[in-house]
């Protein structure tokens, strides 16, 4: 039998860690191998620096493959590491050493010599006195700043590494070549607390002698418009973007030359007249700065930069914890028709977050205006009323120099349709328009298809809503004047998100954003980063029930999926502070106090759920999960304390919200869903609650009536009470309100509201109506775990053991699912053929599955539960 193969090597959850924030990085890998019951019996890690081994773990007898801590000497700043792993299988046969994976140590605080630099401070819009020129605009959006520095390299470096970040956004160049493929770098953090830097290997771009290092700065989240508060639309963190960078040139003779951001840089404005997330970008190609990032100076029109310390203090510099934002898909835009005002309407066929690339040959000063929208109205006009104050308009002014290509650098939009206003007489066929989708480049881990086209479209809509909103932080929507990292939206969706993409590094970064926004009294925030939501508060807006509870829930989901003990340990004090915050305010164990905005079951339809009931149910969930986390961490006394809180909350809940008829006093779907799924009700009350839930659904014509907090639990609870038939019926429902309703009306992403548009009422309120919100896509976890039958187990996290109990339903017909877990690839494929079903299960080495034969089906051996080892298994099932 062939040896095992280690692959998918990761350091701190990243395939290439470009900087470390810990002296003890952790290494992980997945396994593949032919045959059944394969497993790893031992491993050996080798870590090298400059071709010299600095740590050899030796042969370690262990089946562990995840998050193995580094055990070598202290790592130095600016080191480049490569590492390999060799594994031994169940018969002690070694594998070949894996392909080397790269890890960059990054710069520690003591080795940063760079200074923050920026164009001299000009208020309010980053330009000189208004002069009715291209830089004037009614939003006071800043022109982009161009920065450059000449330097002489002492020779040809053996290694050249650029460390770079910004307050705002940057795009870096060396000798005219763009550095890296990141966009929207360095990403969003609380810039008053910390900023992440990126690292790039630029060895091949440096030449002996004269060189030019350059950067373009945009406002981004730092000083540009973020959020919906029009009284404080921008300048949340500062008034101008700034650059910090340090280029290390290592030579063969052992010397190092450092080029850094300092007073020797120069700056000026250029063709990017303004660029703002909400307003859009204007680019005047007539102002192109030929050779600005490659030609030797002096050049005309350039002025010295200002060296300064950002207010209120220089932020902490951390290495990037997450994959960069990148361009991940290109979609050709098809010309559709002319709008009433003569604009050409183009259709991407898919709602995305990103921007358009325009390719055109035009006359000098020809003007192209691109307006973006998610949907067309009844007159087939571009619908933009739901964007609120977001203008979402890009403008390109041509130079007339042959074929020109324009795409924005420092803005993005949420859109499917584009209205392009062309110069007089130009045909829409004369331009090529391409939509470019961007996202934090979290690796895609899940592929799933079913035998039902509506479910397949729903899965696509969920995937695209995740792609469009996972952009540095998990935003609520990518199009209007909001784009916050709302915590409840994320927590209800997090299990679904982990199936489609590897979100381990993403949460590692965002949990720190949330902690940075935690108040001194322990309150977690509603959104993270926090500043734009309520810029007038001196402390962040405290989180509502379901929102502030999110870090506890997501930390637990992260443990189940990735078995990351360190994240639980790292954030235990913060989670404890939140738990204590709730308890102090509610000594009677009913959560009436410290509920803040208390959104309840947000955007539900039908009868409203009692917000105190919902809040108290979530408190029970928090206390229950805290006890489980404490057990994982070996904190037995803390576990007992949180179990007691949970028991007291349950007792108070029953006393307050269960009536004399043994049913809930608040008679809504969500109230029953939370009570059943959180296990708040004793056995004697569960059946009555289950029956009443079904009655409520049937009374609603088989429709859901849940909002953000309730929807995640709907189908899982129906399955848990033995009503798979009803769960599938609701999944396939096409009438309002349902998932299928939006699909029937052309949705390619998940809508924020069940009634975002209806035939009888048209569009919902323009004040809040996104067509790209992932929260209702939380149904994806049920499709993956129940239709496909791939689910993590609390007793064996990280998919060491998989729970597989697929729902075989004739209405679905077949499912093919492939999930690349942290341990390797898990597959579940079933198809119904008359009275038989064929089910193929594939498990990676070191993984086993606890398989439950679906109801109404029999295994050939008559067993109701099987335990399968690694490898491929073919099961034939017959109807009972």
Do the beta carbons of residue 216 and residue 171 sit within 8 Å?
yes
Helix (H) or strand (E) holding 560: helix 550-562
Q: How far apart are CA 700 and CA 728, in angstroms?
A: 16
Strands 194-201 and 316-319: parallel
Strands 344-361 and 101-104: unpaired
Label the pairing between strands 801-804 and 848-852: parallel
CA atoms within 13 A on the CB side of 263: 1
- In angstroms, rounded to a whole number, what is the distance separating the alpha carbons of residues 539 and 52? 49
Distance of alpha carbon 320 from alpha carbon 387, whole angstroms: 31
Does residue 752 have an active-site annotation?
yes
Question: For residue 839, what are the β-bridge partners?
Answer: 830, 875
Q: Are 373 and 415 in contact (CB under 8 A)?
A: yes
Instruction: Considering the candidates 219, 404, 482, 557, report the single residue annotated as catalytic.
Output: 482
Sign of CA dihedral 16, 507, 226, 756: positive
Q: What are the distances in angstroms from CA 821 to CA 791, 804, 844, 846?
A: 11, 14, 9, 12
Is 525 strand, coil or helix?
A: strand
Q: Give the single-character DSSP code of 148.
A: E
- Please list the helix, strand and coil fractions of the chain in percent, rounded to the nearest 5, in that order: 25, 30, 45
Residue among 404, 419, 752, 791 flagged as catalytic: 752
- Asked whether 574 and 551 are in contact (CB, 8 A), the reply is yes
Q: Is the peptide bond before 312 cis (omega within 30 degrees of 0)?
A: yes
Contacts of 723 (CB under 8 A, 6+ apart): 694
* Residue 317, H or E segment: strand 316-319
Q: Residue 865 burial by CB count (10 A; 0-12/13-18/19+): exposed, middle or buried?
A: exposed
Question: Is 12 labeled as catalytic in the residue annotation?
Answer: no
DSSP string, 735-753: SSSSHHHHHHTT-SS--SS
Closest CA to 868 of 818, 802, 815, 809: 802
Catalytic residues: 482, 752
């Amino acid at each position: 039998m062939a040896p095992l193969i280690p692959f998918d090597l990761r350091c701190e959850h990243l395939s290439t860690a470009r900087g470390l924030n810990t002296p003890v990085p952790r290494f992980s890998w997945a396994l593949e191998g032919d045959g059944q019951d394969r497993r790893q019996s031992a491993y050996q890690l080798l870590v090298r620096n400059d071709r010299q081994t600095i740590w050899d773990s030796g042969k370690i007898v262990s089946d562990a493959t995840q998050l193995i801590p580094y055990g070598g000497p202290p790592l130095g700043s600016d080191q480049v590491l490569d590492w390999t792993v060799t594994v031994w299988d169940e018969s002690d046969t070694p594998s070949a050493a894996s392909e080397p994976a790269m890890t960059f140590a990054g710069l520690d605080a003591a080795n940063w010599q760079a200074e923050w630099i920026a164009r001299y401070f000009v208020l309010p819009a980053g330009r000189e006195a208004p002069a009715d020129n291209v830089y004037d605009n009614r939003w006071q959006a800043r022109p982009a700043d161009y920065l450059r520095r000449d330097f002489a390299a002492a020779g040809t470096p053996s290694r050249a590494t650029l460390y770079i970040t910004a307050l705002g956004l940057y795009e870096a160049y060396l000798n005219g070549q763009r550095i890296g493929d990141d966009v929207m770098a360095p990403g969003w953090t609380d810039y008053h607390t910390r900023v992440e830097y990126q690292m790039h290997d630029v060895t091949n771009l440096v030449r002996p002698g004269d060189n030019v290092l350059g950067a373009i700065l945009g406002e981004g989240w730092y000083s540009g418009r973020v959020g919906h508060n029009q009284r404080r639309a921008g300048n949340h963190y500062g008034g101008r973007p700034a650059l910090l960078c340090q280029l290390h040139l290592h030579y063969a003779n052992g010397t190092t030359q450092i080029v850094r951001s300092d007073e020797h840089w120069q700056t000026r404005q250029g063709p990017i007249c303004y660029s703002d997330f909400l307003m859009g970008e204007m680019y005047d190609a007539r102002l192109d700065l030929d050779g600005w990032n490659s030609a030797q100076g002096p050049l005309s029109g350039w002025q010295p930069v200002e060296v300064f310390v950002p207010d209120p203090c220089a932020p902490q510099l951390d290495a990037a914890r997450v994959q960069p934002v990148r361009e991940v898909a290109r979609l050709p835009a098809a010309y559709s028709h002319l709008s009433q005002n003569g604009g050409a309407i183009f259709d991407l066929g898919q709602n995305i977050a990103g921007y358009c690339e325009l390719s055109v040959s035009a006359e000098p000063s020809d003007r192209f205006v691109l307006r973006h929208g998610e949907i067309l109205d009844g007159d087939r006009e571009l619908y933009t009323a739901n964007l609120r104050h977001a203008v979402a308009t890009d403008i390109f002014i041509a130079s007339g120099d042959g074929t020109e290509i324009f795409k924005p650098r420092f803005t993005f939009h949420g859109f499917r349709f584009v209205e392009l206003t062309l110069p007089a007489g130009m045909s829409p066929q004369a331009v090529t328009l391409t939509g470019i989708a961007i996202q934090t480049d979290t690796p895609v881990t899940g592929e799933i298809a079913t035998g039902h086209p509506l479910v397949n479209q729903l899965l696509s809509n969920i995937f695209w809503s995740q792609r469009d909103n996972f952009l540095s932080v998990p935003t609520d929507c990518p199009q209007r004047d909001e784009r916050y990292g709302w915590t409840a939206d994320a927590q209800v969706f997090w299990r679904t998100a982990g199936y489609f993409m590897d979100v381990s590094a993403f949460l590692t970064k965002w949990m720190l954003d949330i902690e940075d926004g935690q108040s001194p009294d322990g309150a977690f925030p509603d959104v993270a980063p926090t500043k734009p939501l309520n810029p007038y508060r001196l402390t962040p807006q405290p989180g509502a029930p379901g929102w502030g509870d999110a870090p506890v829930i997501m930390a637990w989901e992260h443990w189940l999926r990735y078995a990351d003990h360190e994240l639980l340990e790292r954030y235990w004090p913060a989670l404890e502070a939140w738990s204590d915050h709730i308890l102090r305010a509610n000594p009677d164990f009913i959560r009436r106090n410290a509920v803040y905005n208390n959104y309840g079951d947000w955007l539900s339809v039908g009868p409203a759920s009692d917000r105190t009931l919902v809040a108290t149910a979530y408190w029970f969930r928090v206390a229950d999960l805290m006890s489980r986390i404490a057990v994982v961490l070996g904190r037995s006394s803390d576990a007992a304390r949180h179990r007691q809180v949970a028991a007291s909350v349950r007792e108070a809940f029953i006393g307050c919200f269960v009536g004399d008829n043994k049913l809930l006093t608040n008679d809504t779907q969500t109230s029953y869903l939370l009570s059943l799924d959180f296990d708040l009700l004793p056995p004697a009350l569960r059946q009555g609650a289950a029956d009443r839930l079904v009655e409520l659904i049937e009374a609603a014509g088989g429709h859901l009536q849940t909002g953000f907090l309730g929807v995640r639990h709907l189908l899982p609870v129906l399955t848990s009470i033995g009503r798979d038939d009803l769960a599938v019926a609701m999944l396939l429902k096409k009438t309002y309100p349902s998932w299928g309703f939006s699909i029937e009306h052309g949705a390619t992403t998940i809508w924020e509201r069940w009634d975002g548009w209806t035939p009888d009422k048209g569009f919902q309120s323009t004040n809040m109506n996104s067509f790209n919100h992932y929260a209702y896509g939380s149904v994806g976890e049920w499709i993956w775990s129940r239709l496909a039958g791939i689910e993590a187990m609390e007793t064996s996290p990280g998919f060491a053991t998989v729970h597989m109990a697929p729902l075989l339903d004739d209405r679905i017909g077949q499912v093919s699912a492939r999930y690349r877990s942290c341990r390797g690839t898990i597959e579940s494929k079933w198809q119904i053929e008359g009275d038989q079903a064929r089910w193929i299960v594939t498990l990676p080495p070191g993984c086993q599955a606890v398989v439950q034969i679906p109801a109404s089906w029999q295994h050939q051996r008559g067993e109701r539960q099987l335990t399968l080892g690694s490898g491929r298994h073919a099961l034939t099932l017959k109807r009972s």
